Chain A
């Protein structure tokens, strides 16, 4: 059993306080007190230390320790930039959208605190182009903050000045990858850059840049107010704190759940109302479609970063997709691989060509036209993408496929020997596949 569920929401605060997207309501409920406290204490380095001590890890996918990332910025006197990654496109993940739409001031407050900590006079939010409502909420909140003297010259009457910009993406999953994001923010095609140099050294317009996820940054205000020990009451030594998990698929109450990182997958699914009534879990992808799936026998696994890796998957962005026994794994895998084929930026050959090849084979298998040798080819092509592509999208494209072939190989074989889907998954006549 994991830690008890917290008595209130610290990130999804709109669940407890209606109208908190408005400045007046946010302030009435303690908003911008953390910023004021941080500015008054005037110890930027201690904010970095606090973040390190809390053990907060990046919520965008890789789980990199946040305070450590900030301390990689070169100490050469150049002005730093914070770029918040709000491009949320990882299939199965929908937390940043709800966080920004419902609680935009906490993101703004977290950003100003972070910028004060790292010494950044400017910050950017790169928001997914489809998030029109989120964009409007966020820009309205920034305007409110500017008018209240919380943004702009002399933030809250101190010597710290800060400008914040919101930049809209335009439909490209790869722009969630931090260097592709920076290219896009500079007004170019979103092709990933080679690393090094890392963004910390040469990021946006060549400046030292920190890229952090929306949820990561929204942890800062409560962290400043409550302290590192408070944060560590949840989760594990290496994965402390709370995480907003997006639960979708075959559960009774799909949605976002803010839970301690030591909960198990079973506890999380229970919180989401349990698997569809009358059905059983077949497989779960715990962290967005880029991550390997786990069979029902592994539901006792805690969701902390280490436990999920040990179980053969990853926490990723926290997009937990629950599939019950009616789900055809071949079809599910085909759909996911097709996503990566469509979203491959085309810069490198293994990913650009490999995802096409995999999609073709999977479509054939789904139709019942596959051959046994196709299964070897799938693994062979996957092997030629995994670890050999220019950016992490390549690995992401094959994680689910390889794990499904491991746990559900029988189902792939039945599609070949029976020349049809054993679960009777329908074919569609006009959808372009």
Chain B
């Protein structure tokens, strides 16, 4: 059915997703999750592959990807750090934790380090307020992370996307100063 030579594992995953979720377009998100955990993000060719292998328009794939924060279609680090800035975490010092990470990495929330290795993101309540301030590194929970112990998030061992490729021409990150 496919017109192009997609990586074998993508073809396999698309088939597996369709077998598990035969109804409507339900196979799309399970497929995207597998590519996301393999690559660390969703490169444009993965979205082309989803449309092609699952039999839907690329526009539909775009509309879904753009709705969900875990589906990132811009280059993302091998290590993605989500710092929760929700109310309970804020009360436990999450803003200082975020600030420490920003200063240490030389990037602002939402950005990726120059070498492409670490992406720093703000998370909404991670449903781990008992661990405030809570964070996730590649979706593995960590908490409480005292603001001065921010290095834990850079050093803790986590499963990494095995198919991650470093960006070829890293853009100089821009540090913004707000407020």
Binding site for B on A (CB under 8 A): 88-94, 96-97, 128-133, 165, 167-173, 184-190, 205, 246-250, 254-256, 289, 319, 321, 323, 327, 331-332, 335-336, 339, 342-343, 345, 367, 426-433
CB of A91 within 8 A of CB of B99, answer no
Q: How many residues on chain B are close to A (CB under 8 Å)?
A: 54
CB of B69 within 8 A of CB of A249, answer no
Q: Which residues of A contact B30 (CB under 8 A)?
A: 167-168
Binding site for A on B (CB under 8 A): 20-21, 23-30, 32-33, 63-64, 67-71, 82, 85-88, 90-91, 95-96, 98-99, 102-103, 108-110, 122-130, 132, 136, 139-141, 175-179
CB distance from A282 to the nearest CB of B (A): 11
CB of B88 within 8 A of CB of A321, answer yes
CB of B68 within 8 A of CB of A129, answer yes
CB of A172 within 8 A of CB of B128, answer no
CB of A430 within 8 A of CB of B108, answer yes
CB of B86 within 8 A of CB of A167, answer no
**Can you list 13 residue pairs at the A/B interface with Cβ under 8 Å?**
A89-B125, A92-B87, A97-B128, A130-B70, A130-B82, A168-B33, A172-B69, A190-B67, A248-B130, A249-B87, A331-B90, A429-B179, A430-B108
CB of B124 within 8 A of CB of A342, answer yes
Q: Is the interface of A mostly helix, strand, loop or mixed?
A: loop
Given contacts A94-B127, A429-B177, A431-B98, contact A169 B87 (CB under 8 A): no
CB distance from A162 to the nearest CB of B (A): 16
Minimum-distance CB pairs A-B, first 5: A187-B25, A171-B69, A170-B68, A248-B129, A91-B125
CB distance from A280 to the nearest CB of B (A): 15
CB distance from B9 to the nearest CB of A (A): 18
CB distance from A188 to the nearest CB of B (A): 6
CB of B109 within 8 A of CB of A432, answer yes
Q: Which residues of B contact A130 (CB under 8 A)?
A: 70, 82, 123, 126-127, 136, 139
| A285, closest chain B residue (CB) | B87
Given contacts A129-B33, A170-B68, contact A432 B122 (CB under 8 A): yes
Given contacts A91-B125, A189-B64, A256-B130, contact A428 B99 (CB under 8 A): yes
CB distance from A217 to the nearest CB of B (A): 18
| B69, closest chain A residue (CB) | A171
- A sample of 12 more A-B contacts (CB under 8 A), given A167-B29, A168-B29, A345-B67, is A94-B127, A129-B70, A167-B30, A168-B30, A189-B63, A248-B129, A250-B91, A289-B87, A321-B129, A428-B95, A428-B98, A432-B109
CB distance from A416 to the nearest CB of B (A): 18
CB distance from B132 to the nearest CB of A (A): 6
CA distance A335 to B122 in the complex (A): 13
Q: Which residues of A contact B129 (CB under 8 A)?
A: 91-94, 246, 248-249, 254, 319, 321
| B27, closest chain A residue (CB) | A187
Contact residue among A89, A167, A189, A432 (Cβ-Cβ distance under 8 Å from B178):
A432
Q: Which residues of A contact B126 (CB under 8 A)?
A: 130
CA distance A433 to B85 in the complex (A): 11
CB of A335 within 8 A of CB of B87, answer yes
CA distance A322 to B23 in the complex (A): 44
CB of B177 within 8 A of CB of A132, answer no
CA distance A169 to B140 in the complex (A): 16
Given contacts A172-B68, A428-B95, A432-B108, contact A93 B127 (CB under 8 A): yes
